[in-house]
Structure 1
Amino acid sequence: MNKNLLFVFLFLSIGFISFAQNARVKGVILDEINRPVVDVNVSYSGNVTQSNSNGFFEISIPSNKKVTIIFTHVSQKMMSMTVSLKPNEIFVFNPVMNSYAEQMGEIIVSANKKRVQGITIVDQSTIKKIPGANAGIENILKTLPGVNSNNELSTQYAVRGGNYDENLVYVNEIEVYRPFLIRSGQQEGLSFTNTDLVQNVDFSTGGFQAKFGDKLSSVLDITYRKPTKFGAAFEASFLGGSVAVDAVSKNKKWSAITGVRYRNNSLLVNSQDTQTNYTPSYTDIQTNINYVASAKWQWSFLGAISQNKYLYEPLTRETKFGTVDKPMALAVYYEGQERDKYDTYFGAIKTTYNVSPDFTLKFIGSIFHTQEQEHYDILAQYRLGEVDGDGSVVLQEVNYTKGIGTQLNHARNDLDALIVNAEVKGIYNWQENLLEFGVKYTRESIRDRVAEWEMIDSAGFSVNPPIVNLPKNNQPYEPYTGPLLPYQNVRAINFNTINRFSGYAQWSRKGYLGSNEVWYNAGARFQDWSVSGGIVEGKNQFVFSPRAQFALKPDWDMDMVFRLSGGVYHQPPFYRELRDPSGEVLPNTKAQQSVHVVLSNDYNFKMWNRPFKLVSELYYKSLSDVNVYTIDNVRIRYIADNNAKAYAQGLDLRLNGEFVPGTESWFSFGYLKTEENYEGKGYIARPTDQRLKFALLFQDYMPNIPSIKLYLNLVYNTGLPGGSPSYADPYLYQNRLNDYRRADVGFSKVFIDNNRVSKSRLFKDFKELSLGFEIFNLFDNQNAITNTWVRDVYSKNQYAIPNYMTSRVFNIKLSARL
């Protein structure tokens, strides 16, 4: 592999030196009805490049002098632009060509708009290439600083001390949702986002603008592409497959992109400690249809249908734990099965009307409907004991049994949710000021039945819940005459409706302080909501969230941007946040509030005569009205009383660039500390307190055989808090799981791409064809997601037994594109 791999670990010592005197211009070329223009010649002084099938171009130009770039195309009028950029500056320019008049313009100073907003742009081609047990956008996000996850079977992620419910996800400016009843990562199946359909991915880990909705932690903003001609993509592996088709009408007014996906996690689940009969089925179909009614008016429809069937029959489990001096083992035999089903339907219409060149209006309407069931009856008979020094877990070799018992879990949980949204948004350019505003109505209708209980039998007698006032149980020494109750019992029927009105307004402007460039953004959000349908009617609640950003680009030789952002962020409760551990909905649960401050530096430079970027961010969050929760795998249960306060603070660093010429790689580091204080008891670690994070995403190829490529995805996280047993005081259980260490590697042989054309008639229409070999969990590390708590009836101790994730797994993947 390329020798530059050795330099990945040396960037801190040499990465701040820049020698180059070039700048870059890149962007997407569109026509007057916003379609990408293919094969545009982009040139200056004899240097020429062309736009690709998506209209994208990139060209390197000299810095610190005026350069005229010319855009020419056989069906469009010539366009020219004179630009003057500083060394290493990257200017994003998206020209609109037309067929009736030539255009000329001049730009003296410029910068990337998203750069000053603190938004991370994730390249779509990188998303498809990087290996992972759950490959896709979320797989890439987990390599970014400030983003944490220790569950490779889940697409959910935590950002800067927040939990999974605190992340906004938009597709084409439309908010999308996850299922409600998911308890474990292997139940999730597929992320909503289909990577075959993606054009742009923008991600912000905090300090985001007022136009983004009411969540505390992050924004993932995804745009699906608009096809310009027929195309198709195909992928198949041991984990499933996908097909995507692009279609365009003859008059170019209609275009559509449709994707179908199937996934089966058996390969991964069968590598865990628990042996199972596992027959899942995850299938979805998505389509994005676009219609250009006129040069001013455009329409689009985004639709998705997903069916997730989860059939799970555990057989046995054997787990070793403890220390070298005192190895222990848990052996479990199971009876019963779990049958879960998640059907989701999503549809959204979006229309954009250009009232004038400076004023645009948008209307968005969407419906999300989910029908979910979680039914299981699982009997687990366990034996806990000390084993031989070699750590054997075979039952016959247990030397001393410390605990034996039976656990029966039962659930008949059903949920039906319908969420309707209607939104109007506007964008107005007024004398170099950008004004944006929007209003939105949301109606959430929830019908939920919760019926689950757990019975525990230890050493021949039933264990009653400790919170009930019952006669003392001294079995087996004395007979017990009191009632037998489930150790845990949750029963509730909730029919609730939540009505929400929300809106935002914000202002942006670019200016100068002396010779330094500055950008301003200020805005505010509001939301008014009420919960009805419960025993107690909820009262109207209102929150107001002012936010601001300020960015400064000094007039230095070094290409740096400094940014200060933050404000007040509220998260009005969603249905799951309203439901307490007993299943009762508390309609007057308040919105959680966070005062968020982010100070960042963005530095573009050249190293080895190639472009690099170093981004550093220092942040602090002060949280009030905190809704305390526990996490079991990916299931979150809230207390719903707002009786806590918390904070999160940390530092994020990310260096990305061309460590290998022509490829993008990055190294991430994150430090985080987040603690909460519940009812004045003092500060303890929150469930997402992931102190240190290191990640490496690396791409390489063989210098002598460039068609053979390497993709490496490496993550190291320090251990999360391990939780506490049922009914236990979490202040007494502050142990942590072991560190999370995972490396996924992929090798790919490229047969056809832009540089390699097939001579075979069978493959003459293929634009891409590759065969990959992937190794998940390359070093076979034992990573734990949560603890199972097992009781020792004699000493009354409870042992935290880690629930290990997947071991080493091999996969083969075939990819093609027409």
Structure 2
Amino acid sequence: MKLSNVQNLIILLCSTIGFAQNATISGVVLDENNKPLPNVNITAKDLGTISDSDGFYLLEIIADKENTISFSHVAFKDVVLENLILTTNETFEFNPVLKNDVTQIDGVTVTATGERTTNNILNITPEKIRKIPGVNSGVETILKLLPGVSSNNELSTQYAVRGGNYDENLVYVNEIEVYRPFLIRSAQQEGLSFVNSDLVQNVKFSAGGFQAKYGDKMSSVLDIKYKTPTLFSLRADLSFLGASASLETISKNKKLSSVSGIRYRNNALLVNSQQTQSNFNPSFTDVQSYLTYHVSPKFQFNFLGNISVNDYKNEPINRQTNFGTIDNPQALIVYYEGQETNKYNTALAALKGSYFLDENTTIKLISSIYHTTEEEYSDVIAAYELGDIDSNLNSDTAGQVLTSRGIGSQFNRTRNDLDALIFNLEHKGNHTKNNSLLEWGVKYTHEDIRDQLRESEFIDSAGYSIRPPRAEFTNNQPEEPFDAPLVAYNGLSALNFVKTNRFSGYIQIGTHKTWNNTDIYYNAGLRSHHWTVSGTGVDKVSQTVVSPRAQFAIKPNWEKDMLFKLSTGIYHQPPFYRELRDSTGTIQPNVKAQKAFHLVASNEYSFQLWDRPFTLISEAYYKKLNNVNPYSLEDVRIRYTATNDTEAYVYGAEVRLNGAFVPGTESWVSLGYLKTEENRDNRGYIARPTDQRFKFGILFQDYIPTIPDFKMYLNLVYQTGVPGGSPSYADPYIFQNRLRDYKRADLGISYIFANKDKQYSNTHWLHSFKELSLGFEIFNLFNNQNSITNTWVRDADSKNEFAVPNYLTTRVLNLRLGIRL
């Protein structure tokens, strides 16, 4: 509870000594979507309070007298409760619902949320997340439609932001930092995203220029808030890809609430649409729960728990990939023996305590522990044939290999084990005074990593083993026999025990001022991070970095609704375990923090078009990177060189038009361009692995006017190809190629039988359903051939290597049923 003045305390004191008789009114303020509404003013004559971040309020009023309670918010219509008479010591629960109201202030339209975002953060509604179709439907699907976010693999929930890689993104759930498994190398092994969309209340995302209170990464921050339930609710979602269920509960006295979810996923439907035929037996399951307990109006506990069990088994059988040109068509035919067995078991437990000292000051203590055990075991033998194919459609052998260019085999063996434990303890606080907000925090992190790497790759062609192309293995096979011991073409063996202790902290202040009817916002902050790396056989090394950051926004008193923003700062990324490990698996403790300078300028213009609201958001950004740790990217696996011998840059521009293209819906069209290059050891600039260049995205919603409950959802992405990697041992300065452009459209069509706007009488069979929908999704609507990586096949006679594309999923149909009770 946050009391608005000292009078509430005086009344409470008087009641205890008999001078006055009091009663209590409490509850949760909701908006039309039944979401808790913070910062609502609740007043009764001279008494008042404000709803907290969970919409909760508690107000002491005079008993045995008529009271008028008013609930007001700048973006909503007031709710007034008149002639309320409560008896002495009575507690009355009232959960008002405030309805949207577009308010005009000096001719400038205030947005529906009642505030303009000035801190370079994008807000995304949970309803949009749950409805939009996608192979991995959820928060990440929405993010991938943004112009600065790229991912050319629909099976992956990972994303790259404005030229960064997958390791450069922060993810928080209710202020608790969450982590991903370490060993995953292929998107089809990923399973489930940590974020359970059914539990989400609010999503905020920043693609750069974010505040000092967010941690030490170079690219982006995803800030998720899970629900604090106000009513009992049960939700279920069923499809060919799996099932999920969530439960929202609240105790009778409103002190304890919980939201929990369980999910199961099976990617067999998608993987079986690829060119590699296999016996695929995955099992991805997780359970999450978020609990809130109000000990008192001033003190509350929150608990976040997650257990995830990913068991991936794959027994590949065969594959045929046609590639080349019309004049020179070729094919790769592979027959497999063996299997992959990978297990990723993770658990997270976090406890947060929040204490409201008064209406202006809040302090928090957050602790979390994350544990993961991961196994990556595989023995796969691939016998391949590479050759020219018959392109004559009238021939009996059309599509078959006529002449073989290379025949050989490949043996891959992996025995990787990882055990990681990460502990966090953090204090955060904030204080508000005279339109200024002071925020601070300190954090301790302990990381204990135990990692064993054992990988080998043998290549055999025409009866002899191909040795690594290094000076000590020079030979002229097969012309002359070579009887030296067999050596793996690629081999990796390492055993690492590494511990890292980190101390970080921040302080920032934000202020809102008005000058000549012009609103001015600014925020300035400072972060610091000190870490020490040690371990078995690892030198103990300590380093410290300091990161200043600032944001500025101005909203002129113009007839047009314009908001201008400028963000800048230094963003360090102290090395995590994978960044310390070089290409041989050896730990390099002297690796420095990568450093990025951000400069982001943006404009937000809200206007009316066709008598409907629209917003045009434009951004331009520049990043200068130093102490860069170069890496190679294969599928979703990142391998660092563990050096800081590279500098890089990123620049780009984005524009996004958001609005009601169809009355009663929200859609957007986005367009972006970026360029990122790196200079390794002063050899000159070349494209980085995430040099995406052009990006176009559409998120569109529609319905049939005569049948408004028949809904259509479409997301469409086009982006130019990123660099496609290079063969083993190839110098990236000599070998440069790009994957083909990524083009994809996912369509979802559903019929709404029941929702909050469509309820039925007690006698109707749909009465018990708060929501009920049935529909289908078509993934990769136009059946585009997209590729994620290349398989490099060696022709032993010509010494050439061919880039054979690894294609992603084809068109797939999925049925989906959604229920909420």
TM-score of the aligned structures, taking structure 2 as reference length:
0.89
**Which of 109, 112, 116 lines up with 1:89 in the alignment?**
109
> Separation in 1 of the partners of 2:656 and 2:799?
47
Tell me if the contact between 2:391 and 2:399 (Cα under 8 Å) persists in the aligned partners: no
Shift of the 496–654 alpha-carbon distance from structure 1 to 2, 3 Å rule, reads same
* Structure 1 residues 621-632: aligned runs within 5 Å: 621-632=623-634
* Residue 308 of structure 2 is aligned to residue 306 of structure 1: yes
What is the one-letter code of the residue matched to 2:37? V
Tell me if the contact between 1:88 and 1:604 (Cα under 8 Å) persists in the aligned partners: no
1:193-248 CA distance string (max 9 Å, x none) = 00010000000000000000000000000000100121100000000000101111
Shift of the 716–504 alpha-carbon distance from structure 1 to 2, 3 Å rule, reads same
What is the one-letter code of the residue matched to 1:545? S
User: Matched residue of 1:680: which SS?
Assistant: coil
Tell me if the contact between 2:75 and 2:110 (Cα under 8 Å) persists in the aligned partners: no
**Which of 755, 763, 766 lines up with 1:763 in the alignment?**
766
1:496-549 CA distance string (max 9 Å, x none) = 100000000001001134332111110010100011004231311000000001
User: Matched residue of 2:708: which SS?
Assistant: coil
Shift of the 128–294 alpha-carbon distance from structure 1 to 2, 3 Å rule, reads same
Tell me if the contact between 2:237 and 2:244 (Cα under 8 Å) persists in the aligned partners: yes
Shift of the 77–639 alpha-carbon distance from structure 1 to 2, 3 Å rule, reads closer
**What residue is the counterpart of 1:6 in the other structure?**
none
User: Matched residue of 2:727: which SS?
Assistant: coil
> Separation in 2 of the partners of 1:400 and 1:753?
62
> Separation in 1 of the partners of 2:240 and 2:344?
23
What is the one-letter code of the residue matched to 1:786? T
**What residue is the counterpart of 1:797 in the other structure?**
800
> Separation in 2 of the partners of 1:670 and 1:56?
40
Shift of the 319–86 alpha-carbon distance from structure 1 to 2, 3 Å rule, reads farther
- Offset of residue 476 of structure 1: 2.5
**What residue is the counterpart of 2:441 in the other structure?**
438
> Separation in 2 of the partners of 1:396 and 1:778?
25
* Residue 31 of structure 2 is aligned to residue 28 of structure 1: no
User: Matched residue of 1:538: which SS?
Assistant: strand
* Residue 782 of structure 2 is aligned to residue 779 of structure 1: yes
**What residue is the counterpart of 1:21 in the other structure?**
none
> Separation in 2 of the partners of 1:765 and 1:78?
23
Shift of the 756–798 alpha-carbon distance from structure 1 to 2, 3 Å rule, reads same
User: Matched residue of 2:538: which SS?
Assistant: coil
**What residue is the counterpart of 2:737 in the other structure?**
735
* Residue 376 of structure 2 is aligned to residue 374 of structure 1: yes
1:4-46 CA distance string (max 9 Å, x none) = xxxxxxxxxxxxxxxxxxxxxx9826675765479xxxxxxxx
Shift of the 390–768 alpha-carbon distance from structure 1 to 2, 3 Å rule, reads farther
> Separation in 2 of the partners of 1:78 and 1:342?
45
User: Matched residue of 1:726: which SS?
Assistant: coil
Tell me if the contact between 1:331 and 1:393 (Cα under 8 Å) persists in the aligned partners: no
- Offset of residue 467 of structure 1: 2.6
Tell me if the contact between 2:108 and 2:559 (Cα under 8 Å) persists in the aligned partners: no
**What residue is the counterpart of 2:386 in the other structure?**
384
Tell me if the contact between 1:233 and 1:817 (Cα under 8 Å) persists in the aligned partners: yes
What is the one-letter code of the residue matched to 1:707? D
- Offset of residue 431 of structure 1: 3.1
> Separation in 2 of the partners of 1:478 and 1:764?
82
> Separation in 2 of the partners of 1:463 and 1:166?
37
- Offset of residue 393 of structure 1: 13
- Offset of residue 388 of structure 1: 1.6
Shift of the 367–395 alpha-carbon distance from structure 1 to 2, 3 Å rule, reads farther
Tell me if the contact between 2:72 and 2:79 (Cα under 8 Å) persists in the aligned partners: no
User: Matched residue of 1:756: which SS?
Assistant: coil
* Structure 1 residues 382-421: aligned runs within 5 Å: 382-389=384-391, 397-421=400-424
* Structure 1 residues 125-144: aligned runs within 5 Å: 125-144=127-146
What is the one-letter code of the residue matched to 1:743? A
- Offset of residue 92 of structure 1: 6.1
Tell me if the contact between 1:28 and 1:56 (Cα under 8 Å) persists in the aligned partners: no
**Which of 226, 246, 253 lines up with 1:251 in the alignment?**
253
- Offset of residue 367 of structure 1: 0.3
> Separation in 1 of the partners of 2:319 and 2:664?
47
**What residue is the counterpart of 1:238 in the other structure?**
240
**Which of 182, 187, 192 lines up with 1:190 in the alignment?**
192
User: Matched residue of 1:127: which SS?
Assistant: helix
Tell me if the contact between 2:148 and 2:654 (Cα under 8 Å) persists in the aligned partners: yes
Question: Can you give the 5+ residue segments of structure 2 that lack an aligned partner in the other structure?
Answer: 1-34, 41-49, 58-69, 85-92
User: Matched residue of 2:578: which SS?
Assistant: helix
**What residue is the counterpart of 2:15 in the other structure?**
none
**Percent of paired sites with the same residue:** 56
What is the one-letter code of the residue matched to 1:90? V
1:549-577 CA distance string (max 9 Å, x none) = 11111111111111110110000011011
Shift of the 56–814 alpha-carbon distance from structure 1 to 2, 3 Å rule, reads farther
Considering Cα pairs closer than 8 Å and 6+ residues apart, tell me whether 1 or 2 has the greater RCO.
1
User: Matched residue of 1:139: which SS?
Assistant: helix
**What residue is the counterpart of 2:499 in the other structure?**
497
User: Matched residue of 1:125: which SS?
Assistant: helix
User: Matched residue of 2:541: which SS?
Assistant: coil
RMSD over equivalenced CA pairs, Å: 2.4
User: Matched residue of 1:399: which SS?
Assistant: strand
**What residue is the counterpart of 2:220 in the other structure?**
218
1:234-291 CA distance string (max 9 Å, x none) = 0000000001011111111001111000000000000001001000000000000110
Moved more, 478-487 or 580-589: 478-487
Tell me if the contact between 1:33 and 1:292 (Cα under 8 Å) persists in the aligned partners: no
* Structure 1 residues 584-623: aligned runs within 5 Å: 584-623=586-625
Shift of the 56–356 alpha-carbon distance from structure 1 to 2, 3 Å rule, reads closer
What is the one-letter code of the residue matched to 2:450? R
> Separation in 2 of the partners of 1:516 and 1:396?
69
Shift of the 461–548 alpha-carbon distance from structure 1 to 2, 3 Å rule, reads same
- Offset of residue 468 of structure 1: 5.2
What is the one-letter code of the residue matched to 2:661? F
Shift of the 650–390 alpha-carbon distance from structure 1 to 2, 3 Å rule, reads farther
* Structure 1 residues 356-375: aligned runs within 5 Å: 356-375=358-377
What is the one-letter code of the residue matched to 1:648? V
**What residue is the counterpart of 2:542 in the other structure?**
540
Tell me if the contact between 1:72 and 1:78 (Cα under 8 Å) persists in the aligned partners: no
Shift of the 251–395 alpha-carbon distance from structure 1 to 2, 3 Å rule, reads same
Tell me if the contact between 2:390 and 2:399 (Cα under 8 Å) persists in the aligned partners: no
* Residue 451 of structure 2 is aligned to residue 448 of structure 1: yes
**What residue is the counterpart of 1:282 in the other structure?**
284
**What residue is the counterpart of 2:31 in the other structure?**
none
**What residue is the counterpart of 1:330 in the other structure?**
332
1:122-173 CA distance string (max 9 Å, x none) = 1110111110011000011000110000000000000000000000000000
What is the one-letter code of the residue matched to 1:754? K
What is the one-letter code of the residue matched to 1:796? K
> Separation in 2 of the partners of 1:32 and 1:620?
40
Count, aligned residues: 752
> Separation in 1 of the partners of 2:174 and 2:206?
16
User: Matched residue of 1:469: which SS?
Assistant: helix
* Residue 587 of structure 2 is aligned to residue 578 of structure 1: no
> Separation in 1 of the partners of 2:463 and 2:74?
73
What is the one-letter code of the residue matched to 2:467? N
Shift of the 256–618 alpha-carbon distance from structure 1 to 2, 3 Å rule, reads same
**What residue is the counterpart of 2:115 in the other structure?**
112
TM-score of the aligned structures, taking structure 1 as reference length:
0.89
What is the one-letter code of the residue matched to 2:811? R
User: Matched residue of 2:539: which SS?
Assistant: coil
User: Matched residue of 2:601: which SS?
Assistant: strand
1:32-74 CA distance string (max 9 Å, x none) = 5765479xxxxxxxxxxxx9xxx999968xxxxxxx8444488
What is the one-letter code of the residue matched to 1:405? G
> Separation in 2 of the partners of 1:365 and 1:724?
43
* Structure 1 residues 418-497: aligned runs within 5 Å: 418-467=421-470, 469-470=472-473, 472-497=474-499
> Separation in 1 of the partners of 2:221 and 2:152?
20
What is the one-letter code of the residue matched to 2:376? E
- Offset of residue 770 of structure 1: 0.5
> Separation in 2 of the partners of 1:548 and 1:354?
27
